[in-house]
Amino acid sequence: MVIILNGSERRKHPDHFERLFRLRYRVFVKQRGWSLPAMNNREIDQYDDDDAVYFLDLDDEENIQGTVRMTPTVKSSLLADYFPHLVESGHSPRSQRIYEATRYIVLPSQKSREALRLAKGRLLTVLLEWCLDKRLSHLQTVIDAGTLSSFVEITQQTMPLGLPHPYGGGRGTPGGGECMAFRWPISLQVLDDVRAYAGLAGPMSRFGEFGRPDRGSPRAPLH
């Protein structure tokens, strides 16, 4: 089940956040060797504030199988702050209607390609449903260039903002790797593509009324 938590709810859900920050430490600091601010085996940075929105895919034991953090680009954008050179298209990386996805992890309890697809599909579907509900125009993210193909395969609407650029290497990327930025337009088409990839016919979340064949346009926001 995918739950959505606001950064302002950190006190209300201490267990979920504790697990999240520890998982992020394990994946990004220990495994990938990124140099990130870390304390007591938790990875928390300046974008983990009240405006951040967290998507957590939990298994029956409430272990996190997948997660992504969404931040409003007007205030918090990794792309604008650290990787502005990745935007070659001339688009502004900050906009009221654009959120940025960071700290993306998919780690299903069961290790198989199928489980990975399902976990990724669940997370991305709820993410898209939420974006439609928020009436966003785009979501954007910085990725390892090697993963571009997997996003293009999910939806043809994947728009690169520039070419891959080298970035300094952590332990996992000796001599450095290549990163780039892309955007997804927030549309029923992309939601359909993501659902098709996930093998889902219907909505995943309470936001998921969108894209049902009998609905022409999204209804008024729920909150």
Partner 1 sequence: MSFMGDEYGKRTLDFVQRIQGLTNYEEICPVIMQELAWFGFSCVTSFSIPGPGCHLKDSIWLNNRPAEYVDRYAEKNYVIHDPVLKELRRTMNPYSWGDIREGRDLKKSERTIIDEGREFGAYDGLVIPIVNLTGSISLFSPCGRDPDLSPRARAALEVIGIYSHHALTRALVRRQREEVVHTPLTPREREIMQWVAIGKTDEEIAGILSISMTTVTSHVENAKQKLDAFRRTYAVVQAIRLGEISL
Query: Which residues sit at the interface with partner 1, rule CB under 8 A?
Result: 87-91, 113, 117, 145-146, 148-150, 152-154, 156-157, 159-160, 162-165, 178, 180, 197, 213
Of 44 and 145, the one with the shorter C-beta distance to partner 1 is 145
Distance, in Å, from the CA atom of 195 to the CA atom of 167, rounded to the nearest integer, reads 32
Classify 43 in phi/psi space as left (phi over 0), alpha (psi -120 to 50) or beta. beta
- Smallest gap, in angstroms, from Cβ of residue 198 to partner 1? 11
Q: Are 150 and 104 spatial neighbours (Cβ–Cβ below 8 Å)?
A: no
Kindly state the smallest distance separating residue 219's Cβ from partner 1, in Å. Answer: 21
Q: Which is nearer to partner 1, 7 or 160 (CB)?
A: 160
Measured distance CA(106)–CA(68) in Å, rounded: 9
Compute the least distance from the CB of residue 166 to partner 1, in Å: 8
Distance, CA of 48 to CA of 74 (rounded, Å) = 15
Between 7 and 93, CB nearer to partner 1: 93
Residue 134 or 165 with smaller CB distance to partner 1: 165
Cα–Cα distance, 193 to 107 (Å, whole number): 22
Least Å distance, CB 30 to partner 1, is 23
182 contacts 158 by C-beta, under 8 angstroms: yes
